[in-house]
Amino acid sequence: MKTKPRVVVGLSGGVDSSVAAKILIDQGYEVIGMFMKNWHDESVTISNECPWMEDSTDAMLVAEKLGIPFQAIDLSEEYRERIVDYMFSEYEAGRTPNPDILCNREIKFDIFLKAAQKLKADFVATGHYCQKREIEVNGKPVYQLIAGADPNKDQSYFLCQLSQEQLAKALFPIGHLHKPQVREIAKEADLITAEKKDSQGLCFIGKVRLPEFLQQQLKPKKGKIIQIPENLPVYDQAKVPAGMEPPDWDQETLDSICLPIHYQPEQGKVLGEHNGAHYFTVGQRKGLQVGGTGKPLFVIETNTQQNVIYTGLGEDHPGLNRFGLFVQTDQIHWIREDLALNPGESAGYEARIRYRQALSKATLVRKENGLYVIFENAQKGIASGQFVAWYQGEECIGSGTIF
């Protein structure tokens, strides 16, 4: 008689992972609950909002209620190395990291997966709102990452860096449900997490105050806030040429539309001072503390070398709204390796550059140096270091770090 497949569920102490565990038990899996402790430093958390102790207790109580074994695992060392240090170095370089995407790639579906495999687990499961399907391509199984059924909660974007090897071992038991249904199941099963608020904030560091968090390592230093006019000649070059499709554009056109624009102080006027360019991100409007401009002011570039923030006035500023972005070759990731583009090839997909953003039509053009992504409609606040993910219908096909 075949033994039941064994699954380790990452119990975070929230309702989603609690219900994921419950569903797996009902489906006949042998389930083990495991809580990941990822963060020790209490000095920068909003302590009453980051009660990992409470989360770990809730996770334990859920496991007890469901009658499954429970373990806590301390991954704070790996977490610091792979996530926290990455965040500091990205902000320091003037880029905007996405810790949640990295946390899934590096922690939940790598270190945590390996810990689960030591317990002879066949799969790991999480409470993510996304789905997995299996198809056959050239006689081999290929795993698809599919959006969650709840459009308000779809988290496929956060999993856009997973590989076929990682997806093969992943289960997403609540991906076909809507959030209210998940709470309903938790209530019926009398789970302590049924009414618990959703956690916000960095993966599961809890609510960290970002400026204080960054100030631990990145010291404040005063610099200039400069306003860039909207009639710079460089904006004319970054316009989409009429009557030509992106695959037919020459290299110069692709570069001027897709590569970030770098400004010089003499191109604009000084509006005020800031406390450190590395605390700001492209598209940001809060925290500049410059008054009297009439329309809102947005960050359009941060230069951490010169410690200058460049801004544009109003939502329609051409520095804020760009039609393209670029992903370097070593940063291109295909979940569907069988659909990967080779240099010289192009394809139409829908793409997003942030979580929960509506998908927009885009053309992907692959060149020797990387991947150019050109949108049908201008995108607001394309930020270096963030991730672009492209989809075919509800399937996430691949992703990459924005240059």
Burial class of residue 358 (count of CB atoms within 10 Å of its CB; 0-12, 13-18, 19+): exposed
DSSP 111-165: IHHHHHHHTT-SEEE---SEEEEEEEETTEEEEEEEE-S-TTT--GGGGTT--HH
- Number of continuous H segments (helices) and E segments (strands) in the chain: 11, 18
34 annotated as a binding-site residue: no
14 annotated as a binding-site residue: yes
10 annotated as a binding-site residue: yes
16 annotated as a binding-site residue: yes
| Nearest of 38, 356, 90, 72 to residue 206 by alpha carbon | 38
Q: For strands 297-303 and 308-313, give the pairing.
A: antiparallel
| Nearest of 77, 93, 81 to residue 39 by alpha carbon | 77
Cβ–Cβ under 8 Å, residues 179 and 152: yes
17 annotated as a binding-site residue: yes
HSE (side-chain half, CA atoms, 13 Å) at 149:
12
Retrieve residue 385's tokens. 């270091």
381 annotated as a binding-site residue: no
50 is catalytic: no
258 is catalytic: no
Three-class DSSP category at 221? coil
384 annotated as a binding-site residue: no
Strand partners, 224: 273, 308
Burial class of residue 131 (count of CB atoms within 10 Å of its CB; 0-12, 13-18, 19+): buried
Residue in 50, 130, 160, 203 annotated catalytic: 203
53 annotated as a binding-site residue: no
198 annotated as a binding-site residue: no
36 annotated as a binding-site residue: yes
Residue in 103, 130, 160, 258 annotated catalytic: 103
Q: Which residues are known catalytic residues?
A: 103, 203
Binding site, annotated residues = 10-17, 36, 127
Binding-site sequence positions for ATP: 10-17, 36, 127
